[in-house]
Every structure is written in C-alpha cells, then in structure tokens.
Amino acid sequence: MAKTKPAVIHEFGILSDKSKNRVFLGEEVQLEHKTFENLWNFILENKGGQDADDVMSVHVKGGRPYIKTGRYVGTIQTKDGQVIEILPKIYKTGNMEEDDKKLCRRVFLKMLASFQQSQAKSFQDANLDTRENFPILEVYISRYLSEVERLLMDGIKKNYTQIEENQKFLKGKLLIQKQISKNCADKTKFAVRYLKYIENIPQNRIIVSTLYKLSKISQLTNNINRCYSLLSFFSDIPPSSNIEADLNFSLRSNRLFSTYENLLQWSSQFLLNKGFTTFSGNHVNQSLLFSAEKLFESFIAHLFKKYAKDYAVSSQHSKYFLVDKYGDTEHGKFRLRPDIVVESKDAGNFSAYDTIIIDTKWKNLDSSMPDKNYLIDIKDMYQLYAYGQKYHLGDSYFLDIIPKLVLVYPYTEKFKAELKPFVYEEVKAKYGLKLVVYPFNLADEGTHGDGYKRQIGEIMSLAANQKKTPFSVQIKEMQVFDDVNDILIDDYKIDSNNRYMLIGYCRSKEHLEWVQRNKLYNVRLGDRRGALRGMDLQIIPSRIVIYTGKSKEKPEGELFVYTVNQSEILVADAQKMRELNYPAGSNGIGDFYKLFSLGTEIRQHKHIDIAKLKRDSGRSEESYKPLFVKY
C-alpha cells in the first residue's frame, strides 16, 4: 500500500472530490476520487446509526457532492490507504496555517492523554512535541506499543487454563466417556482434563491479535518494526480465534490483571474497527474517532484535578437525583451528573467552605450578541439551575452554602472574556447563586502548562467564596434590653448579610420530645443563668443544631440539624409556655423565652464538632448556654 500524506481538516470542515470543482463553503480539503468515494460509502453504510450525523454527513451543492465533518475528531484510514485527520478547531491569533495545524494536533494529543473514557494513562506530554507531525493514528499506535513494552518489563501474566488431551499418562481427571470412545483399543492412552499454568490466555491472545493488525494498518516503518519486535516476545502465543469471546472474558478479569486494563481497552478499539463510535464498514481500514465535547470535558476535569490541589475535585459527580422519590419507592429518578464538582477539603471551616459546580460545553459563544443571550442554550441554564438547587439541599445545606455555578466554553475570536455573572434569584444574590460563563483558551498552554494553571486559578477566583472571613464565634456584647420587645425594633436588627447557626442544648428526653413535637426551640430571656442577652437577642439564625447529653442508650449523645422559619420568631411568657405544655426543669419556667420555629430536619450533613465550637468561642465544654456561630 502506497504511503500518502495525511489529509488534515478541522471539525465542521468540508471534504470534496478532487475530480470535481470546489464547493467553497468554508475550510475545504479535496480528496482523490477513490478516497472520496470510499469515505462517502463509509458514511452511507453507517447512516442512521448512533451519532452518525455528528461524525460526518454527505451533501450535494450544484451537482457537486461534498462531505461535512461534525463533532467528532480523530483519524480515519480509507481502503486505498489515505489517512484523514479531523482536528478540533482551536482558536489561535496567528495566521500561519501549518503552525495552526501543529497547535491543534499538539493540543488534541494533550486532550487525548487525559481522556478518561480511553484511560490513556501511558500518554506522556514530554514526548508529544517530537511527534506533532505524525498522523494521529500513528501516535496512538505508538502509545499502544509503548504500553505493551511496559507490560513486558513488568512481566506478562500466566493463568490456569483447562486442557483436554489424550495423554500417555494419567493426569488430572479421567474423562470416562471419551476414554471409552477413543481409547478402547489402545490401553496406553488416557483421555484427561487438567489445569495448566500457561501464557496462552485470552488477555495475551488479544494483544497478539492487536499487534498483528497494527503491523498491517500502520504506515510508519518504525511502528511496523516495533510490532514485529514485540510479537517475538509472544512467540508461543497464537492470535485469538474468537476475538469477541476473548475480549469479553478479558474485560471481566479480576484485579490481578489490572496492568492489562489500558491495553485491553485500546485493543477493543483496534480489533473491532471502531473508536468511540459504533462505526465500521467495508470502505475503511480503521477509524478512531472521539467526541470533541467529551475530550474537552475530560481535559478540563483533568486540569482542575491537577491545579486545584487545595480542593476535592470529582468528575461526573452522580450523588443526587432531579426527582428524589418516585411513587411509593424510595428511589430517585433522573440522576444529575455535573461534569466537575469542586469542594473545599476542610468541611469544618464554615466561613471558607465552597462548593463549585462546573459544566463544560464545546460550543461557540458570541459576546457581541446579548440580544440572543450570547448564543447560550437555555437548556444549559436550566441544567445549572437544577444543579444549584439540588446541591444546596444536599450535604452542605445546614451551612447555607449555595453552590457557585460555572459554564466553561472554548475561547474564540468572538468570546474572549468572561461574561457578567448571571444571577438566578435576586434574594440569594448576596450568597452566590449565580452563574459565571468563562472562555477557556486551549491555545494558551504557556510554559510547562502555566497558561492552563493560570486559567484554572481565574475560574476558581471568579467562582469561589471571595469573603473568606476568619472562622469566629466571638460575639461582642452590646447592651441588655429592659423590655424584651426591644429586640424587634429595627434599630437593633443585625446585618442581614451575616448568617448564623444556633447551637442549642436539650437538657432531657422530655425537652427533646417537646421540641420535636411542637417544631419549636426555646431560648431563655432575662437575667437568669443561660439566658440570651446583648447582641445575641437580635440574632435570627438560619439553622439550629440541637445536641443532647450522653446516656447509656446514646453514649455519644444525639445531634439534630433544622432549618429555621425566620419569619416565625416568637416571644413567649410563662403562661404561654405552660399552654404549650413545656416540661419545666428543676429551675421552673422562666419569665420569657424566645421561640424559633423549626423547618425541615436535615438528616444528611457533615460532621459538627460541638466541643470544638465551644472551645473556639472561649467557653468550657461544660457550658450549655446557646451559642451562635457566624458563617
């Protein structure tokens, strides 16, 4: 097969037939007639299949056929040997066409290296520059061969395989029926079944099959020679006679074969004639195609894990459902899967706690089109709003931490700077229920990834909690009021931008039952011990944490977290408390109480260390006076 120079095109480009005139519909590359015909037929064969129209589509203009590339990038080798590379469109300020292709190929390989779905862990950035002029397929083959070389250094695995043979000696289990049918006349033979510890196992047969195939489809002499060199190390192992069966068995292997995991994933792509699409056919030798959107999503997640080291970063987080309960079942429906969730590692530092939810979109925005919402899809806005609501109601709900929301789009000539924040609900604006839209410049690599690191830092700075007030529970005394009704006077109300948790104690089982039955928590007012006074009188908390003493049944005590209905704060006298059947302790019922109306109980929440909160406030652990924590 003659070696030909790869045809390079970007996504959403035009491929036309060199035997006909150009169609002039943007970036266009002309192919030889035979290559174009093979590619045309390949698309028609797969038309109607999953994602087919997103890969390539066929069109005709003025009697001239042409092919439009879609949202998938990678490489296709047609039957006549022509390699076609489809590169992601990455914006660069320069106008050097060859340099632009090198940049796109280099960034594409970086994205491919972090692609979670391919688990291409052996890709190393250090070697990419030296191979930037190689076809993507050859680079991918080279990486596969490097992984095989690594496996050989570690040692290829053996396993017990069941063998049935007609032996001259008895070994293992005698197969009675076969012994009778085969060896009735020859008493020197035994039909036996036994286990043998050998290298001829499905995993190794798959690798041998892949090496044979790669030696045929590669056009690079170095890769071909490496294939044959590696096959010499597997000389006692035949290729697979049933690829699908061996692959299915191999991909179900136990953890003892974890060193084979990457190789088996890649082998399945090569041997089944598919990349991350379901395409195959009679007009291509090999197709290795990746969703540009998935590559972008995986790459941004990789960069957050690499550079946001002070945070816990999760990709494809799947903890919550859009619908918590369906019918009579306890199971949720419509699982939410944000691309990236970034959380503070220190959950105990309430004032500095952050939850940042990031979604990536491989779409072009236009900063000059505010009347068309900058081309942001409203479905993406709904999606991020759902994330914000559900994650606010999740584990950090008792902290009243509203997640920060970020949409990341690719940087283009029409979208170079982040947009002004989109505030979903004005009442929550001060707490951060807003959406930041950021352009990520893939071309801005910088030195040793410094450009990427800076951009991740910018996103974190835009989204994270900017008011990192020191954690403190110290509250300055202001004054004691003569009249309890003074606490309702506007002049004495606290700053509504501050948020507080009330840490309250239930002194007995009867007191706890009264609180839970009436959905009220009481704090004493006046001059008696443990009563609220000073600034404490004015605070209306957004959360109440109730803890109990230790007992034989509950040696660690109990802890309950509730929201507070902040518009339902009451002041009750002794008569009102008796009407509510308040269980008076040994000190009797006080003159006045402030009653907080409890809302939803938060059953899932992060750890709250009551003893630590008391120590931080300067109190002893034996103090049971209500404690307000500002966060």
Task: Say what angle helices 136-154 and 261-271 make with each other, to 10 degrees.
Answer: 140
Helix (H) or strand (E) holding 392: helix 378-392
Give residue 228's pLDDT: 92
Which of 290, 323, 358 is at the close of a domain?
Answer: 290
pLDDT at 491 over 50: no
- Inside any domain, residue 296: no
CATH of the domain at 420: 3.40.1350
CA pair distance 275, 286, nearest whole angstrom: 9
What mean pLDDT, rounded, does the chain reach? 77
CA pair distance 23, 29, nearest whole angstrom: 10
DSSP 445-512: --GGGHHHHHHHHHHHHHHS-S--PPPB---------SSGGGGGSGGGPPPTT--EEEEEEE-SHHHH
| Nearest Cα to Cα of residue 455 among 469, 474, 436, 432 | 436
Q: What b/e readout covers 106-136, taking b as 16+ CB neighbours within 10 angstroms?
A: bbbbbbbbbbeebebebbeeeebeebeebbb
pLDDT at 466 over 60: no
Same domain, 458 and 376: yes
- Inside any domain, residue 141: no
Report which of residues 398 and 12 the model is more confident about. 12
Same domain, 501 and 417: no
CA quadruple 292, 294, 297, 299: dihedral sign: negative
Average pLDDT over residues 63-76: 88
Report which of residues 290 and 256 the model is more confident about. 290
Give 540's contacts (C-beta < 8 A, 6+ positions apart).
494, 500, 564, 566, 569, 596
Same domain, 339 and 412: yes
Report which of residues 339 and 92 the model is more confident about. 339
Strand, helix or coil for residue 372: helix
Which of 234, 258, 290 is at the close of a domain?
Answer: 290
- In angstroms, how far is CA 525 from the centroid of its own chain? 50
| Nearest Cα to Cα of residue 521 among 532, 529, 320 | 532
Same domain, 414 and 542: no
Give 361's contacts (C-beta < 8 A, 6+ positions apart).
293, 377, 380, 407, 408, 409
Report which of residues 156 and 64 the model is more confident about. 64
Helix (H) or strand (E) holding 101: helix 97-113
Same domain, 419 and 359: yes
Average pLDDT over residues 457-463: 85
Give residue 475's pLDDT: 32
Same domain, 176 and 251: yes
**Structural domain boundaries enclosing 184:** 154-270
Same domain, 489 and 616: yes
Task: Say what angle helices 221-231 and 202-217 make with each other, to 10 degrees.
Answer: 150
**Distances in whole angstroms, Cα of residue 617 to Cα of each of 22, 530, 606, 623:** 77, 15, 20, 11
- Inside any domain, residue 568: yes
Q: With beta carbons less than 8 A apart as the criterion, state whether 243 and 271 touch.
A: yes
Same domain, 281 and 256: no
- Inside any domain, residue 117: no
CATH of the domain at 518: 3.10.590
pLDDT bucket at 370, cuts 50 / 70 / 90: very high
Which of 240, 270, 300 is at the close of a domain?
Answer: 270
- Inside any domain, residue 495: yes
Report which of residues 222 and 260 the model is more confident about. 222
Same domain, 319 and 458: yes
Same domain, 316 and 458: yes
Q: Which residues pair with 594 in a beta bridge?
A: 523, 571
pLDDT bucket at 303, cuts 50 / 70 / 90: very high
pLDDT at 348 over 70: no
pLDDT at 398 over 50: no
Give residue 125's pLDDT: 32
Q: Which residues pair with 405 in a beta bridge?
A: 357, 435
pTM: 0.61
pLDDT at 567 over 70: no
CA pair distance 507, 80, nearest whole angstrom: 84
| Nearest Cα to Cα of residue 583 among 472, 524, 507 | 507
Same domain, 427 and 332: yes
DSSP 523-571: EEESSSTT-B-GGGGG---SEEEEEE---SS-TT--EEEEEEEEEEEEE
Same domain, 316 and 454: yes
Helix (H) or strand (E) holding 65: strand 64-69
Q: With beta carbons less than 8 A apart as the criterion, state whether 59 and 66 touch.
A: yes
Percent of the chain with pLDDT over 70: 77
- Inside any domain, residue 589: yes
- Inside any domain, residue 135: no
Determine which of 210-214, 455-459, 493-497, 509-513 has the lowest per-residue pLDDT on average. 493-497
Give residue 441's pLDDT: 93
CA pair distance 221, 218, nearest whole angstrom: 8
CA pair distance 366, 164, nearest whole angstrom: 69
Give 426's contacts (C-beta < 8 A, 6+ positions apart).
none
Domain count, the chain: 4
